Chains A and B, each alone.
Chain A
Amino acid sequence: MSNRLRAWLLATPAILLVFIFLGLPVLATFATTFGDPKGPFSTYAAFFNSRFRMTVLWRTMEVALITTIISVAIGFCTAWVVARMPGRIKSLLIIAAVFPLLTGVVVRSFAWLVILGKNGILNNFLLSIGAIAEPLSMLYTQGSVIVAMVYLFVPLMILTLVGVLEGIPQDMTDAAASLGATPAAAFRQVVLPMAVPGLIVGAVLVFTGSFTSYATPQLLGGERQMMMGTFLYQRAMVTFDWVGASTIAAVMVVVTLTTVLVMSKAARKLNPMAG
């Protein structure tokens, strides 16, 4: 048996699994959106002409973008410190970041339900110190969704960036310093350009992750802060509008794939180590 044949035979079960149970069903979902009797693009016209659906799309983009910006900022600063800690403390901090990452999204969103609720911990605390007279309504706001999403994605950002920042040799900053660069200049001109590809990879993970999330907007945003994920579920399983749900799904796939493709191209272009 030739090596080529053997290689293909070994990979075939996995290829079939992805093709049959991912490729075909997702293509079928796309096909559903073009099968409307009013014309192939009528479902998309309906989507983009509906004020409500566009509100949901923009809200989702906004939440995902704000989540990404905050997570990148917090993640970068934290990873910078973690990467520079001595071995033992570094391992402890990595453990502290992995623990929430591997804890389920339901548990992690639930924690914020307990903290931000009307009778929640934050309200009780603020009432007890007399900072507020009435409990605040913090749940089911854009803010509560963003806080919980940042909570979800900061560990991912830290772990991605610790690896990237560790990969930047100390010699580089030392060389910059010995050539007269101030620490700030060395950071801006040496470290940051080398960290950019990693930052982009992390940012894409956070953006697509929050753009397509379901459990967090469901628990902390509810009906009032409907996002694409919860909207898709509602259309599919509550109103049984499968064509509408498929259209939402297609829009989600297009946004996600476009983000991934454009940003990974940008990451390659901006990588000073490449070429």
Chain B
Amino acid sequence: MKTRIHPVLIVLTVLTFLFLLGPLVVIIGSALSDTTYLTFPPQGLTLHWFANIFEISAFTRTMGTSFMLAVGGTTLSMLIGIPAAYALARYRIELPAFLGNVFVLPILIPEIVLGFSLMKSLASGIGLPITLALLVGHALIVLPYTVRVVGASLNSFDFSIEEAAVSLGCPRIKAFFTVVLPNIRAGIIAGFILAFITSLNDVSISIFLTGPGVSTLPIQLLAHMEQFFDPTIASVSVLLMGVTVAVMAVVERTLGLTFLTK
């Protein structure tokens, strides 16, 4: 039996999705406009503003920094998070139940508070170089994603396969890399890519840890917006939306996007 949906709800849903996608269409349109100011619908079409991104060294430099930071921070958090996720899934009885919550703390504590505290303790307190403090901060905020997504994969993994390998004489480390890892590959890829985009888009941690020398793309965008209001920002935004599309494609191919509704 199918439940009928009230027409008012259908109209409301259509409006909601117009509200969600409209502003992004506006950005794409204004990035293509052949004017020196932001306008929509675009007047004339040009790719000039995309070319202009690469004329502004502040953008190309921070793009590089953001990319390296997202890859580095995510890798670090994966190296640390995968063993933790494995321990939580495999040794459920041996570990206290609250431990799972410890890895959620980076989401629970307001990010802006964490950013401020890291700046105070690491950058200013013990004089850690800014790039290192940024790396640690980003690894920290993506840790909940890596532990959770990889953990979801591990929870549906049958550990008796691993036990079989070990009981047949395979060393534990080798069993992990040849038996467990290939089976949770989808979770690792999806976790990596979701952590990557989280780090790439981060503002609240980076805003405290960037200085005159080192900045990230979102912070540079914020600064640029306060001074200039030309379509270059829109075109950078379109590039970032392109990254989002790529991320979604990877998640869809690994865990499926419906994973995000769980």
Contact = CB atoms under 8 A, between A and B. Distances in A.
Interface of A: 3-4, 6-8, 10-11, 13-15, 17-18, 21-26, 28-29, 32, 74, 77-78, 80-82, 84, 91, 93-108, 110-115, 117, 119, 121, 124, 151, 154-155, 158-160, 162-163, 166, 170, 173-174, 183, 208, 211-212, 214-215, 218-219, 229, 232-233, 236-237, 242, 245-246, 249, 252-253, 256-257, 260
Contact of A29 (B113, B137, B229, B241): B113
9 contacts: A14-B102, A25-B121, A26-B117, A28-B125, A99-B21, A102-B197, A103-B24, A121-B40, A214-B111
A143 to B, nearest CB: 15
A4 B143 contact: no
Given A96-B17, A110-B225, A245 B95 contact: no
Interface stretch (B7-15, B44-52, B183-191): B7-15
Contacts of A26: 109, 113-114, 117
Given A77-B13, A91-B258, A107 B21 contact: no
Contact of A212 (B112, B120, B244): B112
Interface string B241-255: 100110110000000
A154 B19 contact: yes
B117 A18 contact: no
B112 A3 contact: no
Interface in B121-147: 121-122, 125, 136-137, 139-140, 143, 147
A111 B26 contact: yes
A155 B257 CA distance: 13
Contact of A249 (B88, B113, B197): B113
Contacts of A253: 109-110, 113
Interface string B20-49: 110110110010000001111000000000
A231 B94 CA distance: 44
A103 B243 CA distance: 9
Given A78-B13, A93-B17, A103-B241, A159 B225 contact: no
Contacts of B60: none
A170 B88 CA distance: 34
A114 B38 contact: yes
A95 B109 contact: no
A4 B94 CA distance: 5
B247 A102 contact: yes
Interface string B60-79: 00000000000000000101
B30 A107 contact: no
B241 A107 contact: yes
Given A7-B91, A114-B30, A232-B116, A95 B13 contact: no
A229 B204 CA distance: 9
A149 B102 CA distance: 28
The 4 closest A-B pairs by CB, nearest first: A104-B201, A111-B23, A7-B91, A14-B84
B154 to A, nearest CB: 12
B201 to A, nearest CB: 3
A71 to B, nearest CB: 11
Contact of A106 (B38, B99, B122, B218): B218
A112 B90 CA distance: 46
Contacts of B244: 99, 102-103
B222 A218 contact: yes
Contact of A162 (B10, B117, B221, B261): B261
Nearest to A222: B226
Contacts of B106: 18, 22
B179 interface: no
B170 interface: no
Contact of B248 (A78, A98, A163): A98
Nearest to A16: B80
Interface string B163-178: 0000000000000000
Interface in B74-109: 77, 79-81, 83-84, 86-88, 90-91, 94-95, 99, 102-103, 105-106, 108-109
Contact of B21 (A13, A96, A208): A96
A117 B234 CA distance: 15
Contacts of B204: 212, 214-215, 229
A107 B17 CA distance: 18
Contacts of B149: none
Given A4-B91, A102-B248, A257 B108 contact: yes
Given A10-B84, A104-B200, A106-B203, 18 more contacts: A3-B91, A7-B90, A10-B86, A21-B140, A26-B109, A26-B114, A80-B9, A93-B17, A95-B248, A96-B17, A103-B244, A108-B23, A151-B20, A170-B3, A212-B111, A237-B208, A249-B116, A257-B108
A168 to B, nearest CB: 11
A101 B247 CA distance: 12
